[in-house]
Structure 1
Amino acid sequence: MKETSLKNSKFKGVFGACEGTCPTSAIEVTPNSIIHCDTCGEEPKCADACPNGALKVEEFEVVDGVMQARLVFNSVLCDSCGKCEEVCPQETIKVTGAKLKEVEGFCVMCQKCVDICPVDVIGIPGVKEPAEYDLDLKGKGPVYIKDCVGCGTCVEPCPVSAITLEEVGSPITVNDDCIRCGLCSQTCPWNAIFISEKKPVKRSKEITSFTFDSAKCIGCNTCVEACPGDFISANSASLTVAIPSVCAACGLCVKVCPVDALDIEIEWGEGAPVDAEGIGRDVEKCDFIGACANKCPTEAIRVVTKTGMSCPALVETDSEPSFTSCIRCGACASVCSNDALKVDQYEVTIDGEPVIRDRISFNPSKCDQCGDCIEACPYDMIHKTDNPKLPIAGFCTLCGQCIEACPEDALCYK
């Protein structure tokens, strides 16, 4: 067979390779965290709860002289009662009902997750200490690019075409058209770009097809050398390569292959731009009255009415009716050297339920009116005022006064 392929498999990104390789499904990678079986501090509750002894804990010699608790499972003794699932504090244990694998989600200390992690953040105390993954973004500014591998995965999702990849394998550049929406950061497989000092919630993704045509391959190993995670391995015996079962889905190998021997298809989940949460506007209901802009205590909304009046400035203009607002992207706060502007969290009520949303807070006593925030704002909302109590305006605090002021009910929390 000339072509090998992996289709409709469960692939994970760079921080999900561990999940893909775990034989007992004891690791789950979510956009915000990694959930895994930790053997409850070497005293597994699932083993204690099992009435039949199907789950047991035993001491396992990881390396010479280093012992570690692990779980072992005897399918013959399991009656799928579910008691292990009920007591699991990490909620990794699941009763599947499948023959010979009635239960999954327990750690057997196989160390496959340790071996496959391309950034070495998974380790075993006393054997292989995990590398520290520094995500301190303080002071990094509106757009922070670090160790970009030049895969270009972030280029297409950018809604304003602000990202340029001059050459595959070289770092991207972001121009002044960037609106700080964060889609690039959510998409990047290698955590190389951050917007407004925020840690992104990653988009879900699945590789639906990853194929390699050995008849085309010339054995140059360009893909092997280019893969940032060392996922692709060379097959020296046949002068070909072996494609992985888990990878970051960045497609860099496909882009650098000189003979088009590799092909990848990725199904992406929806992104969550920064303006997806906060204040929502029903475009069909909005009649550009301007009451919201006139009511906003921080001048975070700008409306041009149908009569040609710009609110809240209350000056005439020949511009078309429009609505512009602060979307709390945080660019202003990321450049404020005195911490006068900050992004913090605020509780609002949506459909009767309390939810947490980002807002911008301002401490006028710390503001020296340097103007850095004005330059950083991608929507030209931040501006100076003549009010000494509010020297800088244009930022949204999620106070909700605009929602109350709108006569058309066009605004709401979302």
Structure 2
Amino acid sequence: MIVFNEDGCIKCGACEGTCPTSAIEVTPDSIIHCDTCGEEPKCADACPNGALKVEEYEIVDGVTQARLVFNSILCDSCGKCEEVCPQETIKVTGEKLKEVEGFCVMCQKCVDICPVDVIGIPGVKEPAACELDLSGKGPVYIADCVGCGTCVEPCPVNAITLEEVGSPVTVNDDCIRCGLCSQTCPWNAIFISEKKPVKRSKEITSFTFDSAKCIGCNTCVEACPGDFITANNSTLTVAIPSVCAACGLCVKMCPVDALEIEIEWGEGNPVDAEGIGRDVEKCDFIGACANKCPTEAIRVVTKTGMCCPALEETDLEPSFASCIRCGACASMCSNDALKVEQYEITIGDEPVVRDRISFNPSKCDQCGDCIEACPYDMLHKTENPKLPIAGFCTLCGQCIEACPEDALCYK
């Protein structure tokens, strides 16, 4: 059977695109695939007509694996295979000669195309191990960047710079740790606040090659980090893939503009999209939320010119700022006094898990590294020995209860 090392998967979708029976689905946070039920496929057992059968297939000399074979003539589209499929990959299409899809035929096309070799076959080709240790890497960690620049445009504060195509990007101090770059990167090269991202969905809507422009330099072949592009030496041209990681590096490196690619991206999920939400229309800048927050994780300038919770007069315009639990502080804390934890809250009667910041004052030496790392200028030292550092959000919800305008809620 085919196995995946999801920890090392870059969610490029090449395996899904090359699978002839649609037995693989790559989602932003998982890979759903036919695993032949551990070589005892339930779909074959359930098929009343023998349209789906198990066959022993020799992968290499002396090594056989179970695979599924389909006989369209025997299929009456009854749907029993779809009902019993534990992975829910089997689908009844009704299409002639392809009445059923979603079963693995062990063609190994997914194994061959994977650019990071995380797809394999036990006993034949083990999937590549991925030992990614992000601890101690800080708020922004860049590793093995190929210089495609895909992360540059999504950055909402223009904090990422690509000086030269093919060279690693740089991130400046304007970074707000939103995580969109990490979610967008096709090659798992950038990480924010020591978190492994859930990738944005993407679809290549157009990928074209103009052979009349091509000069046979093979720059695109050499530039492709996943070896998706192959050279046609006999014609001094190249062959572009139908599916790839969609980084566009080949397009940017081509000296004669012979390649063009168009990509449709799914929505990103910045770190402030989940947690405490504020209805801007309802907010009247009263400051009750800031005064109620036990960790001073909210700062409000009221319409009367008062800065809360400090209760100091100011001539600043009314404003609202809060900790969004990006985790930059925790990634810089060398004593584990600050940590990002999973916390269950209820939204619309449904339990959901969100990140929150926890703090252990006994471990804090007040070094100030977390304060410098905070991109929202929320963290600060206090005179309270029980809370020497304040400004982090624990998702306690007291601000929601305190707001008289119902402008705050969990999201």
* C-alpha separation in 1, matches of 2:259 and 2:229: 11
Stretch of structure 1 that moved more, 31-40 or 129-138: 129-138
- Structure 1 residue 68 displacement after superposition: 0.7
Does residue 380 (structure 1) correspond to residue 377 (structure 2)? The answer is: yes
Q: Deviations over 1:170-227 (max 9, x none)?
A: 0000000000000101111111101111111111111111111111111111011001
User: Secondary structure of 1:264's match?
Assistant: strand
* C-alpha separation in 2, matches of 1:119 and 1:62: 21
Identity, % of aligned pairs? 92
Q: Deviations over 1:34-59 (max 9, x none)?
A: 11111111111111111111111111
Does residue 171 (structure 1) correspond to residue 168 (structure 2)? The answer is: yes
* C-alpha separation in 1, matches of 2:285 and 2:406: 12
Q: 1:250 aligns with which of 247, 251, 256?
A: 247
Q: Deviations over 1:79-100 (max 9, x none)?
A: 1111111111111111111111
* C-alpha separation in 1, matches of 2:133 and 2:118: 16
* C-alpha separation in 2, matches of 1:68 and 1:140: 42
* C-alpha separation in 1, matches of 2:179 and 2:31: 22
Stretch of structure 1 that moved more, 404-413 or 199-208: 199-208
Stretch of structure 1 that moved more, 157-166 or 132-141: 132-141
User: Secondary structure of 2:299's match?
Assistant: strand
- Structure 1 residue 305 displacement after superposition: 0.8
Q: Give the alignment of 1:220-231 within 5 angstroms.
A: 220-231=217-228
- Structure 1 residue 383 displacement after superposition: 1.0
* C-alpha separation in 2, matches of 1:229 and 1:209: 19
Corresponding residue for 1:280?
A: 277
Stretch of structure 1 that moved more, 204-213 or 319-328: 204-213
Q: Deviations over 1:123-157 (max 9, x none)?
A: 11111111112333222211111110000000011
* C-alpha separation in 2, matches of 1:168 and 1:266: 18
* C-alpha separation in 2, matches of 1:134 and 1:36: 23
* C-alpha separation in 2, matches of 1:412 and 1:135: 35
Structure 2: runs of 5 or more not aligned: 1-12
User: Secondary structure of 1:345's match?
Assistant: strand
* C-alpha separation in 2, matches of 1:104 and 1:339: 49
What is the CA RMSD across the aligned residues, in angstroms?
0.9
* C-alpha separation in 2, matches of 1:381 and 1:343: 16
Corresponding residue for 1:13?
A: none
Q: 1:72 aligns with which of 64, 69, 76?
A: 69
The question of whether the paired residues in 1 share the 8 Å contact of 2:160 and 2:169 is answered with: yes
* C-alpha separation in 2, matches of 1:140 and 1:81: 54
Corresponding residue for 1:8?
A: none
- Structure 1 residue 243 displacement after superposition: 1.1
The question of whether the paired residues in 1 share the 8 Å contact of 2:204 and 2:243 is answered with: no
User: Secondary structure of 1:230's match?
Assistant: coil
- Structure 1 residue 302 displacement after superposition: 0.4
TM-score, with length taken from structure 2: 0.96
Q: Deviations over 1:385-411 (max 9, x none)?
A: 111111111000111100110111111
User: Secondary structure of 2:43's match?
Assistant: helix
Q: Deviations over 1:294-334 (max 9, x none)?
A: 00000000011111111001111111111110000011111
* C-alpha separation in 2, matches of 1:366 and 1:50: 61
Corresponding residue for 1:11?
A: none
* C-alpha separation in 2, matches of 1:124 and 1:207: 28
* C-alpha separation in 1, matches of 2:92 and 2:136: 46
Q: How many residues align?
A: 399
Corresponding residue for 1:51?
A: 48
Q: Deviations over 1:246-277 (max 9, x none)?
A: 11111111111111111111111111110011
Q: 2:327 aligns with which of 322, 326, 330?
A: 330
* C-alpha separation in 2, matches of 1:340 and 1:401: 23
Q: Deviations over 1:349-394 (max 9, x none)?
A: 2122221111111111221212111111100111111111111110
User: Secondary structure of 2:32's match?
Assistant: strand
User: Secondary structure of 2:82's match?
Assistant: helix
* C-alpha separation in 1, matches of 2:164 and 2:127: 33
- Structure 1 residue 108 displacement after superposition: 0.6
* C-alpha separation in 2, matches of 1:78 and 1:264: 40
* C-alpha separation in 2, matches of 1:211 and 1:81: 40
- Structure 1 residue 344 displacement after superposition: 1.0
User: Secondary structure of 1:197's match?
Assistant: coil
- Structure 1 residue 347 displacement after superposition: 1.5
- Structure 1 residue 113 displacement after superposition: 0.5
The question of whether the paired residues in 1 share the 8 Å contact of 2:36 and 2:104 is answered with: yes
User: Secondary structure of 1:209's match?
Assistant: strand
* C-alpha separation in 2, matches of 1:357 and 1:126: 39
Stretch of structure 1 that moved more, 75-84 or 112-121: 75-84
Q: 1:27 aligns with which of 3, 20, 24?
A: 24
